[in-house]
Amino acid sequence: MSEPWTSDWAVAHAGTLARSFRHWLGRELLPGVTEPPALAEALFAAPFVLVSHGTQADPVLNYGNRAALALWEMPWDELTGTPSRLTAEPVAREERARLLAEVTQHGHIANYAGVRISKSGRRFRIAQAVVWNLLDERGAHCGQAAMFDRWEYL
């Protein structure tokens, strides 16, 4: 199997992630990298966790970079088929739902913190996460993304 970031979809999605981040936060997701295939590769290899999900009623993860795959202890094919609510413990899901509703209403939030859980059951607290709405080329809502580079195992 080729690297997941090399697919046409992943290259286009990297552009959506970066364009939407710039729209909501007024800065670059990965400064200095703009060419689509290079951006896709750089985001996949970035030193921060980057995940996104679609707009289903029960949103399913559709992207996770190498850091996300390692943190949640899943290969690409498994992570990208996981309902995003399952990345949080059952007791944290109500808090997570409130967070996503706030992002939907305001476009983004910064400095989010919360407890998540990996496939093996390992719990970790994320800190200073940025969560933002994804917009397609026409400006229509097409999902949400999160990035963070701070977490601690509990």
pLDDT 10s digits, 3-25: 999 999 999 999 999 999 999 99
Contacts 24+ apart (CB under 8 A), 30-33: none
What CA–CA distance (Å, rounded) separates 71 from 107?
26
pTM (2 decimals)?
0.93
In tens, the pLDDT along 34-51 reads: 899 999 999 999 999 999
* Contact predicate 106/98, CB 8 Å: no
pLDDT at 92 (0 to 100) = 67
Token pair 């200095």 is found at 32
Q: Considering only the C-alpha atoms of the chain, give the largest distance between any 2 of them, rounded to a whole number of Å.
A: 42
| Measured CA angle at 107 (ends 103, 111), to 5 deg | 60
- Structure-token pair, residue 131: 């969560």
* Contact predicate 87/72, CB 8 Å: yes
In tens, the pLDDT along 68-81 reads: 999 999 999 999 99
CATH number 3.30.450.20 given to 48-153: yes
